[in-house]
Chain A
Amino acid sequence: MADLEASDAPVDALVSGLEGFGYVASRRIATALYLSLRLKKPILVEGAAGVGKTELALSTSQLLGLPLIRMQCYEGLDESRVLYEWKYAKQLLYTQLLKERVGDLLEDAPSMDDAMARLRGVGDMFFSEDFLQPRPLLQSLMSDDGCVLLIDEVDKTDEAFEALLLETLSAYQVSLPEIGVIKASTPPIVFLTSNNIRELGDALKRRCIHLSIPLPSAELESRIVEKRLPDIASQLRGELVAFVQELRHMKLRKPPSISETVEWAQSLLILHVEELGVDVVRETLNVLLKFESDIDAVEAQAGDLVRRAKATR
Chain B
Amino acid sequence: MIEGKSVPLAEGPLAGFLAALRHAGLTISPASSIDAYEAVAAVGYRDRETLRDALCVTLAKSQIDEVRLEQCFDRFFSHHVETSDRAAKPRETAPTSGGGFAQLMLTGDSVMVDAQIAKAARTVGVRQVQYGFQRNILVGRILRELGMPDWDRDVAQLVDTGDDEDLAEWQATRNAVISKVKAVVDRQIDLYASNAAQQIREERLADMDIAAIRPEDRQTAIKLVRKMAKALASQHSRRRKRARRGQLDMRKTIRQAMPHEGIPFQLYWKQKSVDRPKFIVLCDVSRSVVNAAQFLLVLMYSLNEVVDQLHAFAFSDRLEDVGRLLDGDDIDVAIEQVLRKVGFGSTSYGDAFAQFDEKYMHLVDRHTSVIILGDGRNNYGDPQLDILDRIRRKSRRVVWLNPEAERSWGTGDSEMPAYQRFSSMARTCGSLNELQAVIGDMLRAPP
A interface list, Cβ under 8 A from B:
11, 27-28, 31-32, 34-35, 38-39, 41, 43, 46, 75-76, 80, 86, 88-89, 92, 158-159, 198-199, 201-202, 205-207, 209-212
Contact = CB atoms under 8 A, between A and B. Distances in A.
A79 to B, nearest CB: 11
A198 B2 CA distance: 33
Counting from the closest, the 8 A-B pairs by CB-CB distance are A31-B53, A199-B234, A32-B57, A28-B53, A198-B237, A205-B61, A88-B260, A38-B42
B147 to A, nearest CB: 43
Interface stretch (B31-39, B128-136, B220-228, B357-365): B31-39
Interface string B223-249: 000000000011001111100000000
Most buried by B among A28, A86, A158, A207: A28
A35 to B, nearest CB: 5
A89 B259 contact: yes
Q: Interface residue tally of chain B, by bracket?
A: 20 to 34
A241 to B, nearest CB: 24
Contacts of B39: 35, 38-39
Contacts of B66: 212
Interface in B41-93: 42-43, 49-50, 53-54, 56-58, 60-63, 66
Contacts of A211: 57
A43 B62 CA distance: 13
Contact of A34 (B42, B62, B261): B42
Interface of B: 2, 27, 29, 31-32, 35, 38-39, 42-43, 49-50, 53-54, 56-58, 60-63, 66, 233-234, 237-241, 259-261, 265-266
Given A39-B42, A206-B61, A210-B61, A31 B29 contact: no
30 contacts: A27-B50, A31-B53, A31-B57, A32-B53, A32-B57, A34-B43, A35-B43, A35-B54, A35-B57, A38-B42, A39-B2, A39-B38, A41-B35, A75-B240, A75-B241, A80-B266, A88-B259, A88-B260, A88-B265, A89-B259, A198-B234, A199-B233, A199-B237, A205-B61, A206-B32, A209-B35, A209-B58, A210-B60, A211-B57, A212-B63
Given A35-B42, A206-B32, A209-B57, 6 more contacts: A75-B241, A88-B265, A159-B239, A207-B31, A209-B35, A210-B62
A11 B239 CA distance: 39
B2 A38 contact: yes
B255 to A, nearest CB: 14
Nearest to B38: A39
A283 B56 CA distance: 42
Contacts of A41: 35
Contact of B63 (A46, A86, A209): A46
Contacts of B43: 11, 31, 34-35
A92 B260 contact: yes
Given A28-B56, A31-B43, A31-B57, A39 B261 contact: no
A177 B352 CA distance: 63
A38 B237 CA distance: 34
A142 to B, nearest CB: 23
Contacts of B261: 92
A205 to B, nearest CB: 5
Contacts of A75: 240-241
A211 B60 CA distance: 9
Contacts of B239: 159
Contacts of B32: 206
Contacts of A46: 63
A46 B63 CA distance: 9
A27 B43 CA distance: 13
Q: Which of A31, A76, A89, A201 has the most CB of B within 10 A?
A: A31
B57 A210 contact: yes
A75 B241 CA distance: 10
